[in-house]
């Protein structure tokens, strides 16, 4: 079975709703998303103030939050379709910003996972 990762960049709908956005995302959305067959793990991150050197402009369009979903599937097209088709089953929140819309990327793993040698 092949492995992959789905990454989603997003923001709260308003700065004053960040706490609500984070609670919904971590406590409601991630557990619901983990029920999709093929989704194995989920983690969230906030953009660090300690950034590496970046190209000019803002490639994330101001989006500061990242959700990373570890995937396992024989057919990533079918998994993508299952994620889209089951979207109405997951709780939506107006604390999730839609201007700009979240950015979503699906990557398929092309090599073995490497770990720090001890």
Q: Which domains does the chain have, with CATH numbers?
A: 2-48+61-108 (3.30.70.100)
Please check the confidence at residue 58 and state whether its pLDDT lies above 90.
no
Please check the confidence at residue 24 and state whether its pLDDT lies above 90.
yes
Q: Grade residue 118 by pLDDT with cuts at 50, 70 and 90.
A: confident
Backbone angles phi, psi at 22, to 5 degrees: -65, -40
CB 43 within 8 A of CB 68: yes
Instruction: Using a pLDDT cut of 70, give the percent of the chain over it.
Output: 100
CB atoms within 10 A of CB 23: 13
Give strand pairing partners of 3.
Answer: 72
pLDDT digits (tens, 9 = 90+) for 99-117: 999 999 999 999 988 999 9
Q: What is the mean pLDDT of residues 28-41?
A: 97
Q: What is the mean pLDDT of residues 19-23?
A: 98
Distances (CA, A) of 7 to 15, 40, 104, 107: 22, 13, 6, 8
Q: What is the per-residue pLDDT for 49?
A: 84
Backbone angles phi, psi at 67, to 5 degrees: -115, 135
- Helix segments in the chain, DSSP class H: 18-24, 30-33, 76-85
Q: What is the mean pLDDT of residues 73-82?
A: 96
Please check the confidence at residue 52 and state whether its pLDDT lies above 80.
no
Q: Give CA 98 to chain center in angstroms.
A: 15
Q: Grade residue 92 by pLDDT with cuts at 50, 70 and 90.
A: very high
Taking the CA of residue 90 as centre, how many other CA atoms within 13 Å lie in the half-sphere pointing to its CB?
20
């Amino acid at each position: 079975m092949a492995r992959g990762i789905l990454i989603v960049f997003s923001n709260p709908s308003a700065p004053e709703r960040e706490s609500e956005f984070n609670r919904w995302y971590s406590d409601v959305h991630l557990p619901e998303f983990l029920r999709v067959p093929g989704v194995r793990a989920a983690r969230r991150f906030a953009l660090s103030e300690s950034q590496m050197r970046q190209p000019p402009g803002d490639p994330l369009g101001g989006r500061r939050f990242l959700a990373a979903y570890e995937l396992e599937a024989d057919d990533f097209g079918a998994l993508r379709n299952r994620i889209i088709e089951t979207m109405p089953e997951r709780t939506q929140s107006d604390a999730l910003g839609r201007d700009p819309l979240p950015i979503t990327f699906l990557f398929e793993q092309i090599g073995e996972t490497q770990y720090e040698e001890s």
